[in-house]
Amino acid sequence: MIDDLDVDGPEVTRFLAELRALPQDCDPTPSGELTVLLECGPPGPMAPSGVPRRQLAGVSAAVLVAALTGTGWAAAANDLPSPVQDVIADLSGPLPFDVPHSSEQDGPGLHVESHVLPASQPMRSHRSTTSGPSADAVDAHDTAPTGSAASGDADEVPGPAPVEPEVDTDGDIQDEGDNPDGAAQLGGGVSDAGDGNEDGNEDPGDDPAAYPVEGDPPGVGPSGEDPPGVGPPEAGPPGVGPPEAGPPGGGSPGAGPPDAHPQEPAAETGPPTTPPGEGD
């Protein structure tokens, strides 16, 4: 390159030649960090496969989300192996949805509910389809809590009915309390907590839209709060909202005159459900 510099004068030429030879006197010693870099190579900005790290991270995140979602659905459907199901159920306390324990799966007479309940609840239908036989159990459990809700008392809690005929006969709102108990008895494995919740939550749970959340009554605290025996039957509904709200929203959309009283439907449904349940 020095040739095309168009240099004139011997002094300048000599100076540029010396300048060009200057690197010969230089022998830089690599620093420790540079030595490591030279010996080990740079930390690869590219993955071995040539896929940029950013893409890898994206794919990994997508896989992780998919796995978590799948596991979550399976847990909600109680399809996971018992140990895993129990662990997830324990960990899902603070979550806004209910993950049943594996033991809640086997409850006698739980199947009744499916036909009694209106098909309006998407979650329920999903679960039933996914979980097959166990679905009944799940439904029952879920419905029990929510369904036990004021209106649903009778219908959804067909399970309890068989166990405790009194409830049905009562026909009164008392059912709520009864239901939970019944559910507990029926399910055997069903946790009291869940049942208790149902009582208080009934109203909100009745809403088809809010159904998925029913298991864990939104406003209701953890199990401890709503023991079946707590408060009068009416207490539950009022706590959640106006008395009317309970019935109409009530899981018993099928019931024509829902507005009447939560108890009425219970009374009505009670009788029909008991037979199947009692079949045992």
Partner 1 sequence: MGTITEDVLHDAAAGEQYALGVVYRALAPTVQAFLHARGAEDPEGLTNEVFLQVLPRLTTLTGGTAGLRTFVFSVAHARAVDDVRRRGRRPRQAPYDPESDDRVSDSAETEALVGRADHLRAVLDRLNDHQRSVITLRVLADLSVEETARVLGRTPGAVKQLQRRGLLALREILEEGGEST
**Site residues, partner 1 (CB under 8 A):** 1-2, 5-9, 11-12, 15-16, 18-20, 22-31, 33-34, 37-46
Which residue lies nearer to partner 1 by CB, 20 or 115?
20
Specify whether the CB–CB gap between 175 and 198 falls below 8 A. no
Phi, psi of 275 (to 5 degrees): -55, -50
Angstrom distance (rounded) from CA 97 to CA 99: 7
CA 221, 223, 225, 230 dihedral sign is: positive
DSSP 215-246: TS-SSS-SGGG--TTSS-GGGHHHHHS-TTTH
Which residue lies nearer to partner 1 by CB, 41 or 94?
41
Distance, first Cα to last Cα, the chain: 102
Compute the least distance from the CB of residue 47 to partner 1, in Å: 12
Which residue lies nearer to partner 1 by CB, 33 or 280?
33
Compute the least distance from the CB of residue 50 to partner 1, in Å: 10
Which residue lies nearer to partner 1 by CB, 1 or 280?
1
Compute the least distance from the CB of residue 101 to partner 1, in Å: 52
Compute the least distance from the CB of residue 55 to partner 1, in Å: 15
Report DSSP state, residue 52.
Answer: B
Compute the least distance from the CB of residue 23 to partner 1, in Å: 4
Which residue lies nearer to partner 1 by CB, 52 or 133?
52
Which residue lies nearer to partner 1 by CB, 22 or 279?
22
Compute the least distance from the CB of residue 58 to partner 1, in Å: 20
Count, residues in the chain: 280
The interaxial angle of helices 192-206 and 133-147, nearest 10 deg, is: 70
Phi, psi of 186 (to 5 degrees): -60, -55
Phi, psi of 135 (to 5 degrees): -55, -40
